Structure 1
Amino acid sequence: MMSVTTPPHFKFGIFIPQIQSHVETSSMILKTSRTRRTFQNSHPSSSFNSLNVKLRSVRQVITRISCSSDSGGAFHDGTPQKVSDDISDYKANSSPNSGDAYVGMFIRMLGLDNDILDREQAVDALWKYSLGGKQCVDAIMKSRGSVFLTVNLLNSESTIACEAAAGLLRTISSVNIYRDFVAESGAIQEITSLLRRPSLTSEIKEQSLCLLANLSVDEKLRLQIANTDLLPLLIKFLDDEEDMKVIEASGGVLANLALSVDNHKLMVETGVIPPLAKFLRTETEGSKTIRKEAKSALLELAKDDYYKILLIEEGLVLVPLVGPGAYTSFRPSLYQWPSLPDGSELNLKQTPKTPSRFGASELLVGLHLKKDDDKISKLEEAKKNAIVGRTQQQFLARIGAIETETETENGKFTILPWVDGVARMVLILELEDESAVVKAADAIADVAISEHMRSSFMEAGAVRNLIRIIDRESESVRFSAVRALERLSVSNEVCKRIEAEGVLDHLITLLKNSDANGDLTCMILNILARILDPSKQMKSKFYDAPVNGTKNGWNETRTSTSWQTIQEGDLLDSTFYSRLVEILKSSSFVLQAKAASVLEFLATFETCRDEIVSCDIESALDSIFQHEFFNGMDSFDTESESEFKELERQTLETEEAGVAVSTASRLLTRLLDSHHFKKTLNVSHLTKSLRKILASKIPLQNKDWVAACLIKLGSQNNHPNPIINTDIIIHETIPRLIQQIQDSDSPRIQETAVLELNRIVSEGVVEYNRAVANQGGIFAVVKVMEEGSDRVVEGGLAVLYGLGMEAENHPAMVAAGVVPVLRRIVVCEMLDWVKALHLLRMLPT
């Protein structure tokens, strides 16, 4: 047999030094930590010892392809001869770039006409070769067809081929100039199909996800990835229990996708927030990398106010970063015995005579909680969380680890579990840096969106700190503090705490010096209206039991605190009353309603009532009742889209106007108890204004106090005014009864409303019948008669019979379906069936 000489460019021994020349570069790449956005390729077995094993297996393939016999073309046994000599010749004679020719050979082996085993070994060799650095990737990319052939291998059933193909594409995509080419070759679609397979190894998942992470660096590719079916898969991989690297890679892709605002809606709707949020909660285990990626993605999503609410619902809060330097002014109380964060005393058994001078008793307060102490064992969960959060944050502040410079430079906010986040924001309020205080107060206002969060801030001591800074000279600090208190005061429990902390004097002082129509005035009035709420005082006369799960009844809600403040504070200052009256005259409906509510509460006290009357309150009320809005509110028709938007705006304004006139009417009713006020009152003028408002289109629920005020005004002359009574029945009583018939779920309420409506119609007043028909009473009565009791049928039949006397009501009665109802009454010979027969004969059939 003739000896076979292997051509120099096919000798595999020549390829080994070229790869070994990149050992140092590749090892350096493998050891480099992955950046936040681009995933460099790595493999659990990517050491070059294992690489040589892979290459030895490829050597047989190369030899088999390259070696042939001159006689008959029989294949050689494949054992390379004189390999060491060939390597020595290469070291002596070849150039460093001579290995590029062998890259082309492996690329040709990727061809679709080759055996799948050859293609698998070729892509595996190219993957290992690409780990040598950018120069190796450049050598591969000289033949652009290699990418298409590699993408095709993602369809292979071979686990090795899929992993190697994804790994090679991952390495190529880590180079910026090749990223678009990889995407254009269909890699995203093929990776999507690959990841849908029911069973995949962790290695394939990791390489595929890291490839997507590299591609998602490009914004236009991020949109393409998010619009595929990959999002549910990425969320699914976050729960992978086998390999943390898969979870980290999936989190990296989501973090990149979140960088595009256009992806946010789709990501949230797919449900990305809950699985990412769990990695940031203290009870969930996870690597530092996945926590970083989850925080990065959620911070991007939290830029939207609605998505921020979803984040809070998952137990996380957005906390402002104020810089490590701001915490240098923090001085914890080291010599005080431990207390609850809200300032109340903590009933602990005091073991040492004096607290530790280093603050250990405050820091380790939990050690004092004994199991056999009934008072401590019953400590509310909210108070315990407040103690834990304060202890942790104060400890971090003392050791200087509460924030890092890198964290501050990378963003304006961080995300913390709510226990730590609430304590952190309260801690910032105690600092001297005014910009930091403003950020914390604004963050508290943004986070206080639920009863749970508002109570948590109260237990953590936010109320006391906010009231303490409310008098600072900085206008921005005052504004942010008031804004936070206004959001917290939505809770009844927190509102009582705010009142108990003595906030009224501070708010009154600010109100007297603020702009009448400014945002600060609006927030102050909101707080005052909640503290000095006349409806709470009314409820305290009837309710002694706990309300809405609260510990205390309404009697304790309105304690002597308010009245004591009125007597001792600035509430007896005439400037304050003049300020409220000024707001009634010149502000919006919203501010007028709040100011009228506060004045109504004060008017319950005789001393305050005289002060209010002396401030020209009648002209202020008249400015509300004579508002130009009530002159043109009925003349608007909708024909175009812009007019529909205008109608929406007008609907909102109508609701605000209704609240304002209702509250002003309650105030006027209260002031009518003052003899001095009644002497100077222009009764006829106010009566005319209120009658006009009663006939307007303000919401029905706002007309009850207008009607009550009209009745009380009519009784001032000791002669009831029949015109007022007629207006009230037409514009308030009849619409209210029809609404009860239509909307009430109680058969008893519906029955009472039908009988009352029958009584009104039976009076024979033409205006009453027309009001019932115009308000839709015919349709409401017919519908309730179909399923109502005998008394409802009897009362409804009487109403319809009275309305049937007017021929103009017949079409509406037929359209409402009264004919079948009347026939059923006649056939069954129910009570008053004769009246039903007469009505049937009157109707057009």
Structure 2
Amino acid sequence: MASTLPANHFKFKLHHLQPPHSFNSHLKNAISTNPRRNLWPLVSSCHPNHHFHSLNPKIFPAHTVRSRVCSGVGDGSDASSHQSVSDADSVNNSLSSSGDGFVSLFVRMLGLDNDPLDREQAIVALWKYSLGGKQYVDTLMQFRGCIALTINLLKSESNTACEAAAGLLRMISSINSYRDLVAESGVIEEITALLIRFSLTSEVKEQSICTLWNLSVDEKLRVKIANSDLLALLTKFLDDEDVKVKEAAGGVLSNLALSQCNHSVMVEAGVIPKLAKFLTTEVERSKVIRKEAKTALLELAQDDYYRIIIMEEGLVLAPLVGAAAYDCFRPALHSWPSLPDGTEFKWKSKGPSRYGASELLLGLNIDDNNVNMDESKMNAIVGRTQQQFLARIRAIETEDKRNSDLGSATSSQYTLLPWKDGVARLVLILGLEDESAIARAANSIADACVNEHMRISFKEAGAIKCLVQLLDHKNDTVRLAVTNALHKLSISNAVCQAAGADGLISPLVGILKDLKAPESLMEKTLIILARILDPTTEMKSKFYDAPVNGSKVHETSQNPTTGLVRNMWESCQSVSTAWEDLLDSVLIARLVEILKTSSPTLQRKATSILEFMAFIKPCRFSLVTSNIESGLVAIFQQKVFNDMGADADGQEPGLYDVDIEETGAAISDAARLLTKLLDFDEFWSSINSKELVKLLREILKSEIPLRYRDWIAACLVRLSSLTSSLENPISTEVTFYETIPRLIQQIETSVSPESREAAVVSLNRIISEGVVDFTRAVAAKGGIFPLVKLIEEGGDRAVEAGLAILYNLSMDVDNHPAILAAGAVPVLRRIVLSERPQWIQALRLLRMLPI
């Protein structure tokens, strides 16, 4: 140390301490010959190593304890700033050999009435002394007030004193029996004030944060730390240049995550992206920070929402199934190269090599022109290679298992891997024999499907083929987990295509036909099958030969939906015979039963499948004989819209709104299916059209949301065109209940001027028919206010149509208050005064109003 301590600063005599003769003589000689000489080198001796190694590796991090003290204030030299652990050994030996005398000397030197240099020398000596372990800390804690005086030194302007004080507090707080004393002395608040400073050395940060690391072992202290300004500081220190500071900050955050009540504030502070980067990048080489980051994220992943955030950062939660589970893994040692999804490379050589090179070097015969290797496929190959290599050498999960022994229950069950390795690991587990491991991997795949990127990654890694094969597993737990994974994966259109090609249809149909299948399994199966067979999804476009960029029009393009489904059926028949299972009458009867008894969500899925099957000619007879009409009638008879006022009183508003949406969507889909079935004579001749018309008219007049009325109106119009004996004109009701409300909504909400203009022109054409009910419907549906606004902002054509509608409305005096309240008078006056082309219409309208 470069700082000095004058002899006249002592307020007591050294001989009263009665140190050993040799040490006493050295100290006296040093003071007499050079009163400004540093006291530190005079107390050098050896220290038993076992004291140092007795520290708790969990509380006191396992890396080498740095005894460095910053440069003193004497001559500015940094020669003493790189003291080794041997300094601590020498001090411990000298102080312990002289009893408690020198400890009391340095504790008294911490007093506030002493010179700052004396206090700095004393705290450095005591810190070095405490590095010996618990017995030395016990000796130090015999002196009352030591903690308070040490905490006071955290306010010092000297980085050396701050580092030593924080280091001593770190050692004291590492002992369980003294941790509460340290916390009760206000150390958390003082460290907070210290870490806010701008000019702090890395050593001060490290010792201070390590003190918090020790304190955060206590749950009540974890809550206190998390709900203070320290959380933001710890998050910031994860970006510090010193790796030791990062490790300490990560350790504190790892302990804070052990308390579930801290999770929300930690996520709000942005710890997930900061911690995730240590696991997703190769820049950071510290195993300590990686372990602490993984532990913290595993604790946060217990919450479903936070798990999604973690996975969006490029991590995958993979189950730890035990290294023994991989013993059954048998990779193919000699096979023609293929992609993880099963795609094989084309063989370009006509015959074997004369010297056997074609068999030894398989890649030589790959047709390069046939290989379309995008980034997702390359990542799948790299991930598969790495995970299979670890499994072959029996090194998989060994490190994770070793780390989980010191962690919580969560970390002993799962690990976090970068998405490339995590996807390959989960697919590898699907090929094992352990049923529990397979089920956990399938559920992890479902959890990992948080975006399209992850779903495509699993497809490229070969997960679809493995999951399809596992659908026939005898274990219901495995089947349910696999179905759950396919349910999440099938959100992607590309995955649906791959699943259909891999033969997914047949096992799904088998599950639906099984009356003993669990209800949850049946529901997810129905949803998956509906996604694959939904004719309205974009993924079916590959089967539809519509004209593109002036190309030749396909012969079926005049009826896009029919042509689309027909081409789908023909193409899929050539791919797999499993599609023939759709012709089974037992399956159709099962779907009709779902229409009668299930929830609106499942009714929609069953309707979608039946709509697809309706365009398959062999299925039509089965649909008619299965009494599909009864299922449609059951959907149309739902009374949720007719009893909205009574039903809403007993339910929560949010839940009731969900019921309205789901029921409205189910009725709309059923009306669409009925509309398309009416194109087939064999169906039309077998139904009770009057009953269906009655039900649809009641729904159209109900409070069903407007967006679900289009197919109901279309179905009624189609029924009216086929039946001439209907009593009331269907077109009038459709116009009144569907067309006029839809046009008014379009005028009010559309952001396109062209769309608004088209809507008002269509509405004017309806009003000009002279039907009084149509004019009243415009006023009843709130059309006056959007009309006035359109007249003020629209073009000439829109203004002309809007004025004509408003003039018809003004003929009813009951509409005058609404017209005036909408601000029509100032708008009309501006049109007249500016002599716009419509000024005569505006003037006539002004004369009709009471102004």
Does the alignment reach a TM-score above 0.5? yes
Structure 1 CA distance, aligned partners of 2:827 and 2:735? 28
> Residue 624 of structure 1: CA displacement?
0.6
The 1:543/1:702 distance shift into structure 2, 3 A limit, reads: farther
Q: Please tell me the residue identity of whatever aligns with 2:436.
A: S
Deviations for 1:616-640, whole angstroms, at most 9, x for unmatched residues?
Answer: 11111111101232431244567xx
> Residue 352 of structure 1: CA displacement?
12
> Residue 482 of structure 1: CA displacement?
1.4
Residue equivalent to 1:406: 402
Residue equivalent to 2:53: 28
Residue equivalent to 1:558: 568
Residue equivalent to 2:132: 132
Residue equivalent to 1:66: none
Quick one: which of 669, 687, 708 aligns to 2:693? 687
Is the CA contact 1:22–1:133 (under 8 Å) kept in the aligned structure 2?
Answer: no
After superposition, residues 430-829 of structure 1 pair within 5 angstroms as 430-514=431-515, 518-536=519-537, 541=544, 543=546, 558=568, 560-563=570-573, 569-635=580-646, 646-718=652-724, 722-829=728-835
Residue equivalent to 1:50: 87
The 1:660/1:106 distance shift into structure 2, 3 A limit, reads: same
> Residue 40 of structure 1: CA displacement?
9.9
Q: Please tell me the residue identity of whatever aligns with 1:797.
A: L
> Residue 368 of structure 1: CA displacement?
6.2
Further displaced range: 778-787 or 615-624: 778-787
Q: Please tell me the residue identity of whatever aligns with 1:198.
A: F
Is the CA contact 1:37–1:252 (under 8 Å) kept in the aligned structure 2?
Answer: no
Structure 1 CA distance, aligned partners of 2:152 and 2:119? 11
Residue equivalent to 2:17: 9
Structure 1 CA distance, aligned partners of 2:90 and 2:507? 80
The 1:536/1:253 distance shift into structure 2, 3 A limit, reads: closer
Q: Please tell me the residue identity of whatever aligns with 1:744.
A: S
Q: Please tell me the residue identity of whatever aligns with 2:522.
A: T
> Residue 231 of structure 1: CA displacement?
2.5
Is the CA contact 2:88–2:131 (under 8 Å) kept in the aligned structure 1?
Answer: no
Gaps of 5+ in 1: 57-86, 91-95, 547-552
Is the CA contact 1:39–1:214 (under 8 Å) kept in the aligned structure 2?
Answer: no
Residue equivalent to 1:323: 322
Matched, 1:163 2:171: no
Is the CA contact 1:585–1:624 (under 8 Å) kept in the aligned structure 2?
Answer: yes
Partner SS, residue 414 of structure 1: strand
The 1:568/1:310 distance shift into structure 2, 3 A limit, reads: closer
Deviations for 1:488-515, whole angstroms, at most 9, x for unmatched residues?
Answer: 1111111011001111111111101146
Structure 2 CA distance, aligned partners of 1:818 and 1:495? 54
Matched, 1:112 2:122: no
Deviations for 1:268-319, whole angstroms, at most 9, x for unmatched residues?
Answer: 2222112211111253332111110111111111112222222222211111
Matched, 1:336 2:335: yes
Is the CA contact 1:514–1:520 (under 8 Å) kept in the aligned structure 2?
Answer: no
Further displaced range: 520-529 or 497-506: 520-529
Structure 2 CA distance, aligned partners of 1:287 and 1:173? 25
The 1:745/1:53 distance shift into structure 2, 3 A limit, reads: same
Matched, 1:396 2:390: yes
Deviations for 1:802-828, whole angstroms, at most 9, x for unmatched residues?
Answer: 112222222222222222211211212
Structure 2 CA distance, aligned partners of 1:48 and 1:703? 81
After superposition, residues 145-294 of structure 1 pair within 5 angstroms as 145-241=145-241, 243-294=242-293
Q: Please tell me the residue identity of whatever aligns with 1:631.
A: N
Is the CA contact 1:153–1:161 (under 8 Å) kept in the aligned structure 2?
Answer: yes
> Residue 408 of structure 1: CA displacement?
6.2
Residue equivalent to 1:71: none
Structure 1 CA distance, aligned partners of 2:268 and 2:231? 10
Further displaced range: 721-730 or 511-520: 511-520
Partner SS, residue 335 of structure 1: coil
Structure 1 CA distance, aligned partners of 2:516 and 2:701? 34
Structure 1 CA distance, aligned partners of 2:388 and 2:46? 54
Deviations for 1:103-128, whole angstroms, at most 9, x for unmatched residues?
Answer: 23322221111111111111111111
Deviations for 1:93-112, whole angstroms, at most 9, x for unmatched residues?
Answer: xxx79622432332222111
Further displaced range: 453-462 or 232-241: 232-241
Q: Please tell me the residue identity of whatever aligns with 1:626.
A: Q
> Residue 680 of structure 1: CA displacement?
3.0
Matched, 1:417 2:413: no
Structure 2 CA distance, aligned partners of 1:787 and 1:524? 52
Is the CA contact 1:734–1:772 (under 8 Å) kept in the aligned structure 2?
Answer: yes
The 1:451/1:817 distance shift into structure 2, 3 A limit, reads: same
The 1:105/1:634 distance shift into structure 2, 3 A limit, reads: same
Structure 1 CA distance, aligned partners of 2:300 and 2:351? 49
Deviations for 1:535-563, whole angstroms, at most 9, x for unmatched residues?
Answer: 259965574659xxxxxx99799363444
Q: Please tell me the residue identity of whatever aligns with 2:678.
A: L
> Residue 738 of structure 1: CA displacement?
1.4
Is the CA contact 1:577–1:612 (under 8 Å) kept in the aligned structure 2?
Answer: yes
Partner SS, residue 100 of structure 2: helix
The 1:229/1:348 distance shift into structure 2, 3 A limit, reads: farther
Q: Please tell me the residue identity of whatever aligns with 1:481.
A: V
Partner SS, residue 685 of structure 2: helix
Identity fraction in percent: 53
> Residue 51 of structure 1: CA displacement?
4.2
> Residue 455 of structure 1: CA displacement?
0.8
Structure 2 CA distance, aligned partners of 1:414 and 1:114? 54
Gaps of 5+ in 2: 1-11, 28-39, 69-81, 406-410, 550-559
Structure 1 CA distance, aligned partners of 2:578 and 2:383? 39
Deviations for 1:678-728, whole angstroms, at most 9, x for unmatched residues?
Answer: 223221111111111112233322211111111111122236765321221
Is the CA contact 1:206–1:245 (under 8 Å) kept in the aligned structure 2?
Answer: yes
TM-score (norm 2): 0.86
> Residue 420 of structure 1: CA displacement?
0.6
Partner SS, residue 400 of structure 1: coil
Deviations for 1:22-63, whole angstroms, at most 9, x for unmatched residues?
Answer: 633433247x7555889996535564643488899xxxxxxx
Deviations for 1:649-679, whole angstroms, at most 9, x for unmatched residues?
Answer: 1111111111111111111112223323322
Deviations for 1:731-783, whole angstroms, at most 9, x for unmatched residues?
Answer: 21112111211222211111010111112222333322232223221121122
The 1:35/1:187 distance shift into structure 2, 3 A limit, reads: closer
TM-score (norm 1): 0.86
Q: Please tell me the residue identity of whatever aligns with 2:105.
A: M
Structure 2 CA distance, aligned partners of 1:563 and 1:369? 33
> Residue 134 of structure 1: CA displacement?
1.7
Q: Please tell me the residue identity of whatever aligns with 1:600.
A: E
Residue equivalent to 2:378: 384
Structure 2 CA distance, aligned partners of 1:350 and 1:394? 29
Structure 2 CA distance, aligned partners of 1:235 and 1:733? 57
The 1:142/1:730 distance shift into structure 2, 3 A limit, reads: farther
Structure 1 CA distance, aligned partners of 2:824 and 2:761? 18
Partner SS, residue 319 of structure 1: strand
Structure 2 CA distance, aligned partners of 1:351 and 1:299? 53
Aligned residues: 784
Further displaced range: 122-131 or 165-174: 122-131
Structure 2 CA distance, aligned partners of 1:129 and 1:459? 60
Residue equivalent to 1:77: none
